[in-house]
Structure 1
């Protein structure tokens, strides 16, 4: 495993990796060094053929408070063009999480605020403990959720709810997040990681190429018309039809045995 200063990696059986954001004294907010490590860790996960699911969790009492406020002055000092260039780098981290074929679960054991909320939104599933909270405080400091918070949130909850959260600086507890579909499930305090592992094990029992293809097509279908979406479905299905995993899955179904996936 890669040695990081601000992240921890743990491998679980079945191709499950737990990535811990490890700046607990700073509510797992990220500075430039941590952001670079996150980019590396997500890039590595996206390219890892044996990985079946990635779980992201925060150390201590928070998931993440997003960008470290002590570094925001540096981002302001570089000017508007420089800031936009830096923002593209920040966005690329979340875009990798959203686009990688490996499913990603956010295990939210505390507050996910600002960029931490945006990171959670880029994940495929969000398992929250009863202590979990989503917070969008940007309007209180003269900003907007500018790293996918607006664009991803409106897809998840619709325009009206997104305006409520963004324009009023809103917060959601775990049960309200579940009602709105932002949380996949809610569990008792302290259980978010193990609940996420159970979900990852369910994912690991399915054909990995099919799961990855489904993620890509489902994400793309949110931005295209229905006919284009159906064309993508046909294209994806035609690729999967030729895989060894499809042949194995069909044979295992007929023979009434567990399939042995090879991701080929």
Structure 2
């Protein structure tokens, strides 16, 4: 029996999605993209948060170029759009996604990490966009989503010069949210996912659905949507229970677990 290209495990309310082509450094081929898409859909239906990570020596080495060379321009276009669809499912789905990163996170792997809402990296992590040196262009959404994280100028530098960022530089650039000790990315992601899974669904909906759209709106439109989202979230049953716990001093103080 062929080994699973993507492994899905449900623990409590968290879905763990493991890329599982370690011999290929988790390079994403068509079959793996389809398996990832199916795992994400199952996670969205079954969990309150997901953690995406790589089995083996790295997070993900990007596009499997062995499938790329024979494609026509039309085929490359539609292939790119299939990556966009899967990553959009992660980015705009019902539950937050956390990337736990070690080793190489390059090309399409960086685009996958960029589709997640929180990125945790250990000191072995290395981030790069090597498409420019290979005579190709990004196709998994980096020109929009990675550029929004780190800025167009920094992304252009990475593509034109082949510059790679370690975990500390990536955090400084706004690409990484947390840097852990060696080997600590999964544990940190687990702690964050457990916390996120307890969030009120309406608050999560606002963060995942409203917040990104507000960034593309005019100021007054964004503030209007913020007020609408606040009205929904703050009158929900979870908010009422949380506010009561705070007022009755039953809730943990800021900074406490």
Conservation of the 8 A alpha-carbon contact between 1:110 and 1:132: yes
Does residue 1:86 correspond to 2:79, yes or no?
A: yes
1:1-264 pair list within 5 angstroms:
5-13=4-12, 15-48=13-46, 51-74=47-70, 76=71, 79-258=72-251
Map Cα deviations across residues 239-259 of structure 1 (whole Å, 9 max, x no partner): 224422122222222333359
| Residue correspondences, number | 251
Contact 1:4 1:37 survives alignment (8 Å): no
Counterpart CA distance in 2 for 1:43 and 1:204 is 17
Rounded Cα–Cα distance in structure 1 between residues aligned with 2:222 and 2:138: 28
- In the alignment, structure 1 segments of 5+ residues that lack a partner are 260-264
Root mean square deviation, CA, Å: 1.9
Preserved CA contact (<8 Å) 1:108 1:128 = yes
Q: TM-score, normalised by structure 2?
A: 0.91
- TM-score of the aligned structures, taking structure 1 as reference length: 0.88
* Structure 2 residue runs without a partner (length 5+): 253-257
Q: Secondary structure at the match of 1:239?
A: helix
Taking the aligned partners of 1:102 and 1:197, their CA distance within structure 2 comes to: 15
CA contact (8 A) 1:150 1:166 kept: no
Query: d(CA) in 2 for partners of 1:125 and 1:249?
Result: 24
Distance in 1, Cα, partners of 2:146 & 2:135: 19
Alpha-carbon shift at residue 28 of structure 1 (Å): 0.5
Task: Judge conservation of contact 1:103–1:212 (CA < 8 Å) in 2.
Answer: no
The superposition leaves residues 88-116 of structure 1 with CA deviations (integer Å, 9 ceiling, x where unpaired) of 11111111111113111100011111100
